[in-house]
Structure 1
Amino acid sequence: CTETATRIISGMNSSIDPCDDFYEFVCGNYISNTEIPSQRTAVNRFIETMMKLEGEMEHVFNTNPPTGGTQTPRAKMYYIFKSCKKLDTSEAIEVRNLRAVLKDSGFASWPKVPLATSKPRNQYNVINEQGWNGLFGISVEVNYFDPGTHAIFMDVPHFEPLTERAFRDLPNTGKTLYKQFIVAITKLLYPEYISHIGTIADSIYNFEVDLMTATTEDSRIDPEDNRKMKTLREVERLIGGLPWKTILQHPFQAIKTALRDSQSVVIWRLKYYQTVSRQISQKTPELLFNYLGWKRIVQLLPYTRSTLYTTYSQFMGSVDASFNKVSAQANCIRHLMKNMKFVFGDVYTSAYFNLDVSSDIDEMITYLKQSLISLIGDQQKNWLDANTRKSAIHKVEKMYQLIGYPNWIKTPRELETLYQFLPLVSSSMSYVSLMNMTLHNNFYAN
């Protein structure tokens, strides 16, 4: 607390009257004395903390190599980190690596062109075989309507490379840049389709505009009218347009898990699903295949290395002022923190959390709760009636405490379950392939 107070005071400019410029009064010295780090667009306490964490975790990885034996989640994360830190590869190798990943993901014949002989059979088969990334945001979550259970949760997707708001706010020049970006990446990956790339890029862009429009229109609806809990059997009739029962069952069948017709499904953005399902039923399977392939590509571009990564970074920097155009290797810790967050937390807390301190804090919280119960229970305090007093004491007694991290991340069996679909890895494997396997694991482990 003393260190934090000292740091806050040192960042203030007490020579300024807070009534004249409160921001300068609170942050003036910090702004004048702090340089924005290279390859960053801004700096603040949170960014400084993140940079400190990155340095600490790099030290942990570099000084604690795996000792052999069974490849644990910790060991897998170490090898992925080492692959990320390798020097940039050539453009040809980078393209070959990403194309190999796309092939493994069901996009060996991407992009589909008008004369292609291998065409998707129909829309829902495309979704079943290529996934719904960039189309739907479907996961397993705690049931909003019944918190003691889990449900299939249907939300809008996480759009990449631009969020719905960023895409919507693009000026005309930005929209042109995005189309050019689709063309540039496709040319790098598949130069043999150069005569078709312009048409393919336009169709992908236009379909994405339709999805963004559906998202915006959905957000204007009263949530009470737009959020529904149904059973798996009822979903198809409610949404329409596609065989939803089959679509939702498909990924569970891949991990040999059967869904009952009574399975709870929370539709969080009903209007979006109704609109997009209708749109998909009116689009060609080839267009849907190309769009999903593009979304798979942009999901993986942050994990590329040479020209593909540079092209991605330059585009993002041109349309997003907050995007940090750092080198590919500078993102390693951030990627692991995002995509392997539980084992990342296990490693970090083992290295930097003191269990004695956690025990001390736990003891302190126990005394605080006892004091609060004593205060509330004091009969001389007449500002609480008997029922309110009893209810308040019950709440304090049942108060859940979480100190630093959930204890279960320190249980190897729990972590192994969360990474059960991540196969054996090696630092000699390409980083983009390793991250693709990690994303695949996260989807099914969820």
Structure 2
Amino acid sequence: MSPNGWAFLVILFTFGSCESIRPICETDDCKKTADRILSYMDPSVRPCDDFYKFACGKFLETAELRDDTTQNSSFIQVSDILEDQLKAIVFEESRSDEPYPYQTMKHLFSLCLDEDKIDARGVSPAVSRLAAAGGWPVLGNWSEFGWSFLDTEIRLRNLSIGGGSLFQISVSIDAKNTSKRVIEIDQAGLGLPREFLVKGLSDPIVQAYYSYMVDIAEMYGADRRLAQVKLNESLMFEIELAKITVPREQRRDFERMYNPYGLEDLMAEFGWVNWAALLESMMPASVQLRKNELIIVNEVEFLKKLEVFLQKYSDEVIANYMMWQAAGDMTDILTNQMRNRKMEYRRATVGIAAREPRWKECIGVASSLSLALSSLYVERYFDETSKKAALNMTNMIREEIIRDIQELDWMDEETKKRAAYKASQVVQHIGYPDELTDMNKIEEFYKGLDIDKDQYFEALIDLSRWANDYKFRQLREEVNRTDWRSHGTVTMVNAFYNPMENSMQFPAGILQQPFFSARIPQYVSYARIGFIVGHEITHGFDDQGSQFDYKGDLDEWWGKESKENFKKKTMCMINQYASYKESQTQLNLNGINTQGENVADNGGFK
């Protein structure tokens, strides 16, 4: 028997016996798949002793870790394949007869590649915008006279260079009526995760953040000694701000975070912000703010505390914090020196040792025009047979999950019916939406987008402004769970479940080897991407997905006793995973924050 045939026998006998002996697949695709499986395995390990090392031992020994990443896995390998495919697309010379969205996407990529031109301009385009937003005290171009944080917030947003450092504003789907969209206000967006900031300046990660702040400010033109003093004050402000934000562990309850206000009620309760002026400044001319506009406040107590908190600090400290957040956000689109310094910061905080090649960074930028890039990708690379095969597989796995639900002994019959119905109503977005192949649709979507033809910085500002206007134009649009625009970004190696749509998406980027192929036996694909399908459907029943009904509305559809049983089982899993310790850091997992993924993983394996 050939080695390739042996590999498949290993799989068959490891996972269980077959009802009948099937002929060995000897196609090139099967041989390559078998070779890959064999190259990962360590047959010296007994599978009953350590199945993971048996199946993946050689991979663990031989896999190389690139300097520009902190991991290696099948996801990374498929991502590398995808990036090479996208590279071939974006490096193609744009033709004059090519559709405008394709030309714009490729032009943005070429602007990004021209590092010499970007470096020649230095930081001047960013400094001029910071000045237009009111100035950054650490640069000496700020005046306290007439300054207010609200005016600064409005200017930062209008200039498309920031906003959200004190509270975040977005357009979201209404969790309790998912056919509509609403304005949502959330707590501050911080420059460093809350978990680190609350530890204070003695924490090594916070120290690395402070050093990064000072170095970047100096690159913007600040006096180093002044920057050290002023940004220390700014960092202390941010540390204290982090302490009044709500930790992630408490932000998994959507009911708690759904606090509806009419605009007038919001102005009455939180009158220290002129919300009407701020929201009107964010809207395009085609959208008018309504007197009775529905606004969802995620963290009411945070907004109450923020009013008192801001009164403790001088305008200069607040201005330094707000402008640092804006300045820090722009480092990626400025000089090589800044990007290299950010790389050093990432090395200290997450362990990445080197920047990606510039072309990879620029593919990330070109992906800002995701529908244009996805359209070209599907046209060039996606195997159409994969879409049908993957859809058949997801349907079969869903039916198995429904059968599992019906056999649960801890859930009452009515809740079982509702759970099974929810699973049956999951909207599946497999591969790509058909509209991606319709150039009229693509051109209509990008209508009105006009980016700077010569300067990279300005081109990205133009794109950011257009994207913000698009989001707020959606405020008056009816929500469509099958909207191709929402599911048309397919150049990703990932899969998603959206609880407010009760939908899952398997984009074209993940439907390729080694995860999936229509040209290899189905049992191989079931073992690989079948797990991911089960994982995503199970997200509809994890601690967060379970809060939404079959339509995606935030609604209590569980029977009381079944809900209590669910909470007990969830707590059991929280405790189980919280007992696991990571070998290198000797830190225990956070069972609360990881519970959604842990529940989904167990569902996927089953």
1:437 aligns with 2:466: no
Secondary structure, counterpart of 1:275 in structure 2? helix
1:291 to 295, 310, 321: 321
Determine if the alignment matches structure 1 residue 28 to structure 2 residue 53.
no
Letter in 1 for 2:433: P
Aligned equivalent of 2:536: none
Q: What is the SS of the residue equivalent to 2:36? A: helix
Q: Map Cα deviations across residues 270-308 of structure 1 (whole Å, 9 max, x no partner).
A: 222332244235544443333222111221212233211
Cα distance in 2, alignment partners of residues 244 and 218 from structure 1: 26
CA positional deviation for 1:359: 5.6
CA displacement at 1:201 relative to structure 2: 0.7
Query: Aligned partner of 1:95: which letter?
Result: V
Measured in 2, the distance between the counterparts of 1:261 and 1:442 equals 25
Local SS of the residue matching 1:137: strand
Among residues 208, 212, 233, which one is paired with 2:264 in the alignment?
Answer: 233
Q: CA deviation at 1:143?
A: 0.8
1:425 and 2:445 are equivalent in the alignment: no
What's 2:173 paired with? Answer: 142
- The reply on whether 1:153 has 2:184 as its aligned counterpart is yes
Q: Is the 8 A contact 1:204 1:291 kept in 2?
A: yes
Residue number among 377, 382, 388 corresponding to 1:353 in the alignment = 382
Q: 8 Å contact 1:342–1:415 — kept in the other structure?
A: yes
Partners of 1:85 and 1:208 in 2: how far apart?
34
Shift of 1:140: 0.8
1:35 to partner: Cα distance: 1.7
Question: Do 1:142 and 1:151's aligned partners in 2 also have CA atoms closer than 8 Å?
Answer: yes
Q: Output one character per residue of 1:340-363: Cα deviation in whole Å (capped at 9) or x when no partner.
A: 33333223222212446546766x
Bigger Cα displacement from structure 2, 322-331 vs 206-215: 322-331
Does the 8 A contact of 1:420 with 1:441 survive in 2? no
**What letter is aligned with 1:230?**
Y
Partner Cα separation in structure 2 for residue 146 and residue 246 of structure 1: 26
From 12, 16, 39, the equivalent of 1:10 is: 39
Which region of structure 1 is more displaced relative to structure 2, 147-156 or 164-173?
Answer: 164-173
Alpha-carbon shift at residue 57 of structure 1 (Å): 0.6
Unaligned runs of 5+ in 1: 377-385
User: In the TM superposition, what is the alpha-carbon distance from 1:202 to its structure 2 partner?
Assistant: 1.8
Match status 1:43 vs 2:68: no
Residue 381 of structure 1 aligns with which residue? none
Residue 77 of structure 1 corresponds to: 105
8 A Cα contact 1:226 1:271, kept in partner: no
What is the CA deviation profile of residues 236-255 of structure 1, one whole-angstrom value per residue up to 9, with x for unaligned ones?
33445322233223201x43
> Aligned-pair distance for 1:107?
3.4
Cα distance, 1:415–1:292 mapped onto 2, change above 3 Å: farther
Offset, 1:149: 0.7
Letter in 2 for 1:129: R
1:379 maps to which residue? none
Change beyond 3 A, Cα 1:359–1:180: closer
> What amino acid is aligned across from residue 281 of structure 2 in structure 1?
H
Residue 285 of structure 2 corresponds to 255
For residue 36 of structure 1, give the secondary structure of its aligned residue in structure 2: coil
**Which residue among 186, 195, 207 is the counterpart of 1:176?**
207
* Residue in 2 that maps onto 1:383: none
Structure number with higher relative contact order (C-alpha < 8 Å, ≥ 6 residues apart) = 1
Q: Does the C-alpha gap of structure 1 residues 168 and 330 become closer, same or farther in structure 2, counting only changes over 3 Å?
A: farther
8 Å contact 1:13–1:27 — kept in the other structure? yes
Q: 2:429 aligns with which of 383, 388, 402?
A: 402
Q: Percent identity?
A: 18
Aligned to 1:124: 150
**Are the equivalent residues in 1 in contact too, given 2:166–2:188 (CA < 8 A)?**
yes
SS at match of 2:429: coil
The residue type paired with residue 54 of structure 1 is E
Question: If each structure's helix is expressed as a fraction of its own residues, which one has the higher value?
Answer: 1
- 2:237 aligned with 1:199, yes or no? no
| Of 308, 333, 341, the match for 2:370 | 341
Alignment of structure 1 residues 213-224 onto 2, 5 Å: 213-216=243-246, 220=250, 223=253, 224=255
Shift of 1:116: 4.4
Could you say if the C-alpha distance between residues 394 and 133 of structure 1 is closer, same or farther in structure 2, counting changes exceeding 3 Å?
closer
Which residue of structure 2 aligns with residue 264 of structure 1? 294
Q: Compared with structure 1, are the counterparts of its residues 401 and 422 closer, same or farther at alpha carbon in structure 2 (3 Å cutoff)?
A: same
Aligned residue pairs total 426
Question: Which TM-score applies when normalising by structure 1?
Answer: 0.80
Measure, in 1, the Cα distance between the counterparts of 2:419 and 2:257. 34
SS of corresponding position for 1:63: coil
Equivalent pair of 1:420/1:445 in contact (CA under 8 Å)? no
Aligned match for 1:312, one of 342, 348, 358: 342
CA distance in 1, matches of 2:394, 2:341: 54
Letter in 2 for 1:276: L
Give the partner amino acid of 2:258. R
Q: CA deviation at 1:82?
A: 0.9
Structure 1 partner of 2:502: none
Q: What is the CA deviation profile of residues 144-203 of structure 1, one whole-angstrom value per residue up to 9, with x for unaligned ones?
A: 11111111122335434x333354467533323322221111111124x45532332123
Q: CA deviation at 1:81?
A: 0.8
